[in-house]
């Protein structure tokens, strides 16, 4: 036919591309979002394989290493030649003048950093039992000595490795937003959809509820809600409660987006065409309206995740959320509450860097997604 010219293979794949493929292509042009996406992937993989990557488990702490700075790693031997990286173990020494106990390096023996070293037992992904860790220390004879530690980000007040705790904390801090987003997602679609579809009185009531909920300052609301959490519950129950508290606030924004999109899409000609063709209301919603705003919803969720991450972090920091020994980034930051500990142990601020990087990455990704959300414009 004369109407259709021969197209190259590249064109053809574009013509056959669905909304999601088009979105993905547009997202790939957003370099910052691409970079953020890979960064987030690394963070999540780190959380997933925390048992393996972290040299020490949550229960492994050593009073000798309390509040110690990041372990110094040496690359040169005594002659100044390059050597495989090694560390020294720590020892307590009494200061002859002040009689106070100070901790210094014991340079008598080298402990080499080695890959795939045996350590604490764990189950990889909860399935495969193993005791191999990504890195660890071996002495000159090649044997594992678990009393000597390498804390690349230093140690906290219990003497636990901060790097390990960041990884384990990521499991909570990075997944809570997801779970709460999922709950917000369901609530948002449901209530926003009802609001947009039925309109009138129902719409009015739901909108007013949203306004009231979003008018309450979040910290007092958290306090009120966490007061309702029964004391002495398990870590996993706590986790559940926190997600519910966070999603309780998160859904309002989503419901608004859904409602707005719903109303806008209902006016599109293709919806009227479907109606005139005799397609039922339910099918119109499922086939035309929901796919139409799904991409916007994902954008909004992505942009909402940093809020949840910060929410969890602040709750835990305020002591309303996770409590030690459970670990989250907020719990880790709790150690930096007083100025003295920040001044003396600045490495305790490292978890904050992770929070900032994650939040920024989500924001950049959300930004890219927003540009890609409607590939037809």
Positions touching another protein (CB under 8 A) are 1-5, 14-19, 22, 29, 268-270, 272-280, 283, 287-288, 291-292, 375-376
- Taking the complex as a whole, the smallest distance from the CB of residue 273 to another protein amounts, in Å, to 6
* Angle subtended by helix axes 31-48 and 162-198, to nearest 10: 120
- Using an 8 Å Cβ cutoff, are 101 and 94 in contact? yes
**Cβ-based neighbour number of residue 48 at 10 Å:** 17
- Using an 8 Å Cβ cutoff, are 168 and 52 in contact? no
- Taking the complex as a whole, the smallest distance from the CB of residue 277 to another protein amounts, in Å, to 3
- Taking the complex as a whole, the smallest distance from the CB of residue 279 to another protein amounts, in Å, to 4
10 versus 96: smaller Cβ distance to another protein: 10
Place of tokens 């039925």: 198
5 versus 97: smaller Cβ distance to another protein: 5
User: What is the distance between the alpha carbons of residues 17 and 34, in angstroms, rounded to a whole number?
Assistant: 20
Burial 194-214 (b: 16+ CB within 10 A, else e): bbbbeeeeebeebbeebeeee
101 versus 201: smaller Cβ distance to another protein: 201
24 versus 75: smaller Cβ distance to another protein: 24
- Taking the complex as a whole, the smallest distance from the CB of residue 364 to another protein amounts, in Å, to 20
User: What is the distance between the alpha carbons of residues 217 and 184, in angstroms, rounded to a whole number?
Assistant: 18
- Taking the complex as a whole, the smallest distance from the CB of residue 292 to another protein amounts, in Å, to 7
User: What is the distance between the alpha carbons of residues 354 and 34, in angstroms, rounded to a whole number?
Assistant: 18
- Taking the complex as a whole, the smallest distance from the CB of residue 60 to another protein amounts, in Å, to 52
- Taking the complex as a whole, the smallest distance from the CB of residue 25 to another protein amounts, in Å, to 9
**Cβ-based neighbour number of residue 228 at 10 Å:** 8
- Using an 8 Å Cβ cutoff, are 138 and 109 in contact? no
330 upstream amide cis, omega within 30 of 0: no
Which neighbouring-strand residues pair with 103? 92
38 versus 280: smaller Cβ distance to another protein: 280
- Taking the complex as a whole, the smallest distance from the CB of residue 203 to another protein amounts, in Å, to 17
84, HSE (Cβ side, Cα atoms, 13 Å): 10
User: What is the distance between the alpha carbons of residues 78 and 350, in angstroms, rounded to a whole number?
Assistant: 31
């Amino acid at each position: 036919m004369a109407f259709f010219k021969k197209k190259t293979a590249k064109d053809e794949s574009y013509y056959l591309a669905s909304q999601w493929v088009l979105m993905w292509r547009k997202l790939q042009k957003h370099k910052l979002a691409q970079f953020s996406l890979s960064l987030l992937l690394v963070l999540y993989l780190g959380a997933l394989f925390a048992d393996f990557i972290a040299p020490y488990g949550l229960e492994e702490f050593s009073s000798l290493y309390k509040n110690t700075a990041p372990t110094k790693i040496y690359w040169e031997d005594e002659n100044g030649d390059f050597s495989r990286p090694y560390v020294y173990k720590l020892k307590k020494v009494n200061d002859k003048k002040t009689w106070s106990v100070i901790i210094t390096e014991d340079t008598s023996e080298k402990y080499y950093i080695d890959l795939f070293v045996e350590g604490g037992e764990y189950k990889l992904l909860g399935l495969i039992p193993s005791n191999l860790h990504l890195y660890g220390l071996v002495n000159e004879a090649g044997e594992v000595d678990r009393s000597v530690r390498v804390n690349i980000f230093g140690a906290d007040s219990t003497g636990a490795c901060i790097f390990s705790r960041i990884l384990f904390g990521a499991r909570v801090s990075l997944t809570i937003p997801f779970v709460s987003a999922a709950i917000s997602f369901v609530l948002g679609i449901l209530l926003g959809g009802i609001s947009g579809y039925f309109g009138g009185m129902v719409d009015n009531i739901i909108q007013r509820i949203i306004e009231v909920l979003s008018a309450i300052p979040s910290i007092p609301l958290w306090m009120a809600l966490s007061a309702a959490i029964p004391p002495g519950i398990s870590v996993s129950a706590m986790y559940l409660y926190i997600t519910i508290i966070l999603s309780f606030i998160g859904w309002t924004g989503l419901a608004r987006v859904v409602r707005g999109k719903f109303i806008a899409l209902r006016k599109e000609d293709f919806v009227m065409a479907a109606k005139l063709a005799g397609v039922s209301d339910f099918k119109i919603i499922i086939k035309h309206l929901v796919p139409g705003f799904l991409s916007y919803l994902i954008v909004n969720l992505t942009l909402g995740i940093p809020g949840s991450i910060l929410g969890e972090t602040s709750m835990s920091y305020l002591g309303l959320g996770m409590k030690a020994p459970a670990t989250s980034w907020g719990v880790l930051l709790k150690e930096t509450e007083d100025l003295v500990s920040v001044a003396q142990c600045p490495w305790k601020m490292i978890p904050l860097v992770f929070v900032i990087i994650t939040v920024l990455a989500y924001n950049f990704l959300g930004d890219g997604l927003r540009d890609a959300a409607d590939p037809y414009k």
